[in-house]
A and B are shown apart, each in its own frame.
Chain A
Amino acid sequence: MIKILTQSTQFKEIKDFFEEIGQISLFTTRFFREAVNPPVEWKELFRQCYIIGNQSLFLVTVTGFIMGLVLTLQVRPTMLEFGAESYMPSMVGISIIREIGPMITALICAGKIGSSMGAELGSMKVTEQIDAMEVSGTNPFKYLVVTRVLACTLMLPLLVIAADTVGLLGSFFIEYTKGAVTPVLFFNKVFMTIEFGDLLPSTIKSFFFGLVIGIVGCYKGYTSKKGTAGVGTAANSAVVVASLMVFLVDLIAVLAADIFYDL
């Protein structure tokens, strides 16, 4: 009896998992359909771009700076041991721009923006604000979801650029204080190493990071149920699922970059 119950619970969980994947796919399809259909909610889109960029910029730059400091501090002794100190700027530059900058920024945004979208839309859902928008003859999906997802998709690459820049400054700070490297030498080394094949894939994957964070955050909020408890669940699962999706997108992006640019 217990075994049967366990099996049925497991079956339900698997069924729910695939159902959720189906629902997210439909939600994403609807997003693309609504996004290309005029009119565009420009005012709300710019407002969301400002909110997402402005709210996350400080956190992203502080984290980026610390990331540059820590990476340099951790790697420096090993590089010294092999007499490869002169490769420090190149190594740090490649690491930050290809992988660490986009990933750290995306994970911070998954936490901050994903949870904020999940909670805000979830709260609007349970307090019938989304219904109120609908009965006033406004398309709430276009107004609330499309603008947020687009804003997230557009702003994330900009935040990644900010994090990369500040991360390199953090790395330079350590190199300057410990190794007495001049700014010109440090940044020359960095930019001589970085190629088009480093910048393009990381920029493209940043757009996709923004897209999945926006889609998951909005989906969780827009479809939240069970009252105020559902709002907390929506915010929480938005962060968890968005973070997992960021890793998945990163894996796909690295595999694709490996094929196209022979990393």
Chain B
Amino acid sequence: MIKPTNILSNHPKIEKGKALIEIRDVQKSFGDNHVLRGFNLDLYEKENLVIVGKSGSGKSVLIKCFVRLVEMDSGSVKVLGKEISELGQKELDELRTEVGFLFQGSALYDSMTVRENLEFPLRRHPDKLRGEKVEDLVIEALESVGLAHAIDLMPAELSGGMKRRIALARTIILRPKIILYDEPTSGLDPITSKEIIQLILDIQQKYNTASLIITHDMDCARVISNRMVILRDGINYAEGTYAELVQLKDPKVQAFFK
């Protein structure tokens, strides 16, 4: 069996820190559709790792396997050193507070105000308050995304870009060590997309998080990534920095950059 990763991979030039997520031979099928066929990956501290792939290639399924929103068929996913398939519900919930997740459609609770959306995770995990008041943390998170004025609005009153920013504020409010982004710029206009990309970079700088970004927006990938992985045919087909991948002659890789 040919393993294109071995043929095409380039050693990333960023300095590797501690691996926060370690994925080995993850497989997932839906009936006859084999979405993941042995995916391998490491996400290191303070790294921005971008996974690109065509629509329907299993990017979202993959990212959901990291927090057990989707159960993998086989393989190993270690998050912060813990094998997630072996965790009980309580341990899994505790681990999930260390991993932020920004959903493609923002996923704000539409029966709650922006304030209540941000308060929700804090009220459930009072140990995460770090001695601060809920109100102060909510305002701080909203100021980080530049939307402190929207605190009492309902999600239905927000634009797509604002929703994405509020969802980001809700993601960072528990101060996670890792943030998983599922198509952070999809459905947004180019200007708002750039704002969201800048926000992701700012948040990474401010909170020292490692980020794993799923996207098919190559502009987003170019600006954000320290390292990129191309997901194709259910495996990590190619790996390297943006500059390294763009120079590869393989037509399947080049298809992403044209």
Give chain A's interface residues, CB within 8 Å of chain B.
Answer: 120, 123-124, 127-129, 131-139
Q: Are A137 and B109 in contact (CB under 8 A)?
A: no
| A131 interface neighbour in B69, B110, B120, Cβ under 8 Å | B69
Interface-centre pick from A120, A124, A129, A132 (highest chain B CB count, 10 A): A132
B173 (CB) vs chain A CBs: closest residue: A136
Give chain B's interface residues, CB within 8 Å of chain A.
Answer: 64, 67, 69, 89, 93-94, 96-97, 99, 101, 103-105, 107-111, 120-121, 124-125, 170, 174
A132 (CB) vs chain B CBs: closest residue: B107
Q: CA of A134 to CA of B67 in the docked complex: distance in angstroms?
A: 9
Q: Are A136 and B120 in contact (CB under 8 A)?
A: yes
Q: Are B121 and A137 in contact (CB under 8 A)?
A: yes
Cβ of A221 to closest chain B Cβ, rounded Å: 13
Q: Are A128 and B107 in contact (CB under 8 A)?
A: yes
Q: Are A137 and B101 in contact (CB under 8 A)?
A: no
A136: chain B residues at CB < 8 Å are 96-97, 120-121, 124, 170, 174
B66 (CB) vs chain A CBs: closest residue: A135
A41 (CB) vs chain B CBs: closest residue: B124
Q: CA of A133 to CA of B104 in the docked complex: distance in angstroms?
A: 15
A134: chain B residues at CB < 8 Å are 69, 96
Cβ of B187 to closest chain A Cβ, rounded Å: 13
A138 (CB) vs chain B CBs: closest residue: B124
Q: CA of A141 to CA of B101 in the docked complex: distance in angstroms?
A: 19
Q: Are B124 and A129 in contact (CB under 8 A)?
A: no
4 interchain residue pairs of minimum CB distance: A132-B107, A137-B93, A128-B107, A136-B121
B174: chain A residues at CB < 8 Å are 136
Q: Are A132 and B124 in contact (CB under 8 A)?
A: no
B109: chain A residues at CB < 8 Å are 124, 129, 132-133
A137 (CB) vs chain B CBs: closest residue: B93
Q: CA of A78 to CA of B93 in the docked complex: distance in angstroms?
A: 66
| A129 interface neighbour in B101, B104, B110, B121, Cβ under 8 Å | B110
Cβ of B251 to closest chain A Cβ, rounded Å: 34
A132: chain B residues at CB < 8 Å are 101, 103, 107-109
B105: chain A residues at CB < 8 Å are 127-128
